[in-house]
Structure 1
Amino acid sequence: MSDAWWTWVGIAVAVVFVGVGAWLLLASRRDARAAASRPARDSFRREEEAPAPPKKRLAVVLNPTKLDGDGAAEKATIAGVCADQGWAEPLFLPTSEHDVGFGQTRQALAEKVDVVCAFGGDGTVRAVAQEMIGTRVPVGLFAGGTGNLLARNLELPTDDLARAVTVALTGRNRHIDAGWLTLDPDESHLDEHVGEGSSTGPDRHAFLVMAGLGLDAAIMEDTSEKLKAKIGWTAYVPAGLKNLLAERFKARVSIDGAPPITVRARTVLVGNCGKLTGGINLMPDAEPDDGTLDVVVIAPRGLAAWVSVAARVLAKSGRSTQTLDRYRCREIEVHVDRDQMVELDGDIIGEARHIQIEVQPRALIVRTENGRSSTAA
């Protein structure tokens, strides 16, 4: 073979060796970069050993007078359900004579708990809810009183504490309206300690179920707490009979800023929910999340007229008459000619001649079993 042929063979071999060497060099550099970017084995070990996120926590604002003895059994039930659901030990905050739940609720919120529950009667629920309005923290309801009106209107369990706790931990959120009642300080006489501990003061109060002026408040005032504890809601019957034919009062009622109308009444009721103690549905069209308030003015003159009113209520009639007038509104103002007892969700707050009430739509989150979509405007 000629020398030229061997020259070309040598050149080809050299090119091959150069190409292979370049490929090996590039591959080694890629491996080095990959090794540099890959976390060390120890770093994987540190991630695996990172602490778990903190457990969720429940706070319970409870009224000691509604517990069985020292409440050990109820607390154990609540703690047991929390443990079963993987939640932390609950925080228990008892109410007192001078603070029925307002300050305790603010303390719970300061602890950044995930749910705040009210364990007591309607008064405890109202105090807790008032401080929770406008927050994004849900409220849970543990029935401990006679009425438990909000729980009943929302169809929550009232006779099974473990189930109620489960709903508070795992249920769905429902945004409901809140009513706000404002008193004229020059025309009201408050009971002792009313509003004590509240962040809104003694002249502005929230309610979730119903506010009333006149007969219904007088019945609440005259009903014995001991009797309620013994026989339940039927304890209201003697007080009702006592006040049934009390003298009517004159009231000027203004609906949504319209010119006032003058009526003779025994009671003026403003409701966010419609069901009362004993399952009576006084306001069949009321929904707790519709952005409106339902108003009933009851004004029978004698016993026969009372029978007519009772028949219409039991029949769930939405029609207005001279003895039972109905309205719907976002705000209402009532002036009466003489002092009348005022109640909020069954709690007497004192006497007044002038009240203003307005609705705050979708202001409170409550844990419920079904969540239910809001129809608020």
Structure 2
Amino acid sequence: MPNDYLPWIIVGIVVLALAVALVLGMRTAARSTTALRRRRGRGRPNRDQFRSRQRNSTLKRAAVVINPTKFADLPMIRERITSTSHACGWGDPLFYETTVADPGTGQAEEAVAEGASVVCSLGGDGTVRAVACALIGTETPLGILPAGTGNLLARNLDLPVDALDDAVRVALTGRNRRIDVGELVIGAMDAHGQPVDGGRLDTQQFLVMAGMGLDARIMGDTNEALKQRVGWPAYLLSGFKHLVSPEFRTQVRLDSEPEFKRRARAVVIGNCGRLLGGLVLMPDAKVDDERLDVVIASPRGFVGWAPVIARVLTRQRKGHSTLDHKVCREIRVRVDHPLPVQVDGDVVGEATEINASVRPAALTVRVPIA
């Protein structure tokens, strides 16, 4: 009888051995798979990081070129902009900081190269101009986040000037508007656009106003510390000191019209006309009218400024004989001695001649949806 059961006993032992081997093999394979997963998982970002990268790879991103001198708590400003960007359905912004050597143009060019959907300037009018210079002639829009004293372009475009979150939302979700750009060539040049007598030409773009004489002196002499403490009224103090600045002789040619002469204290060339404090120097000027507005001021003494001030306060285009208002596409101004020249509030040097022209619809800017 035992011999009758022997084959079955052998079969049972074999089956049991195979079962044990199978279980052990499955456990070994599981350990190997787990170890392989662990090895592959080393150095990987966590899930949140992966989701953040996935989100930013599919969402639009804004670039923000910041003037760091305007802020005491820059990390907080970055957090606010990032939070508002996420709330608008955008990815993490790209941040760049201006330097003394490069006030924003190089940073904006880098942002365009990295694929930013909109490039924002966060600073004053000088930062706006520097960033805009990199975007002129491109399809990349400029978003303006005002943080300066004047914020003149933002005011002329009816953008938020005292609410950063609102300005970010406009930059990300507003509509595109094409505006003109003024181009100023500083230095004397001949009919072929070449420097005269071995001189040097300096080409600058402006979005608001450029000029020579009184306005440049005011900008150059405004105390920076006072401007940071009290804001735009600091310009009033500087302006009061220069109300009786010396006159100069000037020769002006508009487009192809004959040249005319004036004695003046200031020549201001505007792409738009609104000033600080709600004042309007050029009531008819618009950022997209394909022309430049020119004001030649020649008041004499304190009394002579009365009609000029009255004209600005009442926003009248026609004024006193000491205030000429012209419209053109090109202008050449020659003066009898070197005078300071300002471009969007920055004094860029001295010259005896400037030539300005308009570049129609050269820049795209984000503005509120009407």
TM-score in same-fold range (> 0.5): yes
Q: Deviation per CA, 1:276-325: give whole Å up to 9, x if none.
A: 12221000000111111110000001211101111111111111542100
Structure 2 partner of 1:84: 87
**Native 8 Å contact 2:208 2:273 kept in 1:** yes
User: Helix, strand or coil for the counterpart of 1:125?
Assistant: helix
- What is residue 207 of structure 2 aligned with on the other side? 208
Following superposition of structure 1 onto structure 2, how do residues 74-153 of structure 1 map, counting pairs within 5 Å? 74-153=77-156
CA shift at 1:227, angstroms?
A: 0.4
Are the counterparts in 2 of residues 252 and 261 from structure 1 also a CA contact under 8 Å?
Answer: yes
8 Å contact kept, 1:142–1:164: yes
Q: Paired residue for 1:163?
A: 166
The residue aligned with 2:36 is none
CA contact (8 A) 1:248 1:265 kept: yes
Q: What is the letter of the counterpart of residue 267 of structure 2?
A: V
Is contact 1:120-1:143 (8 Å) kept?
yes
Matched, 1:224 2:228: no
- One-letter amino acid of the structure 2 residue matched with residue 154 of structure 1: L
- CA distance in 2 between counterparts of 1:184 and 1:266 reads 19
Contact 2:187-2:201 within 8 A present in 1 as well: no
Distance 1:83 1:323, change over 3 A: same
Q: Give the aligned partner of residue 60 of structure 1.
A: 64
Separation in 2, partners of 1:91, 1:144: 18
Following TM superposition, by how much is the alpha carbon of 1:259 offset from its aligned partner in structure 2, in angstroms? 2.0
The separation in 2 between residues aligned to 1:120 and 1:163, in whole angstroms, is: 15
- Equivalent in the alignment of 1:361: 360
**For the structure 1 residues 75 and 258, does the alpha-carbon distance in structure 2 shift closer, same or farther, using more than 3 Å as the test?**
same
Instruction: Check conservation: 1:149, 1:275, Cα contact below 8 A.
Output: yes
Distance (whole Å) between structure 2 residues aligned to residue 120 and residue 135 of structure 1: 22
Cα gap change, 1:52/1:179 in structure 2, threshold over 3 Å: closer, same or farther? Answer: closer
Name the residue aligned to 1:262. 261
The letter for the 2-side match of 1:368 is V
Alignment-mate amino acid for residue 129 of structure 1: A
Question: Is the Cα contact below 8 Å between 1:257 and 1:332 reproduced in 2?
Answer: no
Report the Cα distance in structure 2 between the residues aligned to 1:52 and 1:327, rounded to whole angstroms. Answer: 50
How has the CA–CA distance of structure 1 residues 52 and 141 changed in structure 2, closer, same or farther, with 3 Å as cutoff? closer
Structure-1-length-normalised TM-score: 0.79
- The answer to whether the 8 Å contact 2:311/2:319 transfers is no
Q: 2: distance between equivalents of 1:221 and 1:319?
A: 29
Aligned length: 308
> Retained in 2: the 8 A contact 1:213–1:268?
yes
- Do 1:185 and 1:203's aligned partners in 2 also have CA atoms closer than 8 Å? no
1:193-342 aligned within 5 A = 203-342=202-341
Equivalent position of 2:20 in the other structure: none
Shift, 1:86, TM fit = 2.1
Q: Distance in 2 between matches of 1:324 and 1:51?
A: 57
Question: Contact 2:67/2:122 (CA < 8 Å) preserved in 1?
Answer: yes
Q: Is the 8 A contact 1:121 1:145 kept in 2?
A: yes
**Preserved contact between residue 333 and residue 355 of structure 2 (Cα < 8 Å):** yes
* Partner deviation per Cα, 1:125-164 (whole Å, 9 max, x = no partner): 0011111111001100111110000001101001111111
Unpaired runs of 5+ in structure 1? 1-49, 188-200, 372-377
- The secondary structure found in structure 2 opposite 1:367 is strand
Amino acid at match of 2:65: V
Q: CA–CA distance in 2 between the matches of 1:51 and 1:123? A: 34
* Bigger shift: residues 59-68 or 177-186: 177-186
Contact 1:210 1:269 in 2 (8 A): yes
Structural mapping, 1:3-22, within 5 Å: none
- The alpha carbon displacement at 1:83 in A equals 1.2
Aligned-partner Cα distance in 1 for 2:320–2:234: 29
Q: CA deviation at 1:85?
A: 1.9
What's the C-alpha RMSD, in Å, of the aligned pairs? 1.9
With structure 2 as the length reference, what TM-score do the two structures score? 0.80
Q: 1:370 to 1:145 in 2, by over 3 A?
A: same
Identical amino acids, percent of aligned pairs = 50
State the alpha-carbon separation in 1 of the partners of residues 188 and 256 from structure 2: 21
The structure-2 alpha-carbon separation of the partners of 1:81 and 1:52, relative to structure 1 and needing over 3 Å to count, comes to closer
Alpha-carbon distance between aligned partners in 1 of 2:321 and 2:352, rounded to the nearest angstrom: 23
> What's the CA shift for 1:219?
0.4
Distance 1:51 1:298 in 2: 56
1:324 maps to a residue whose letter is L
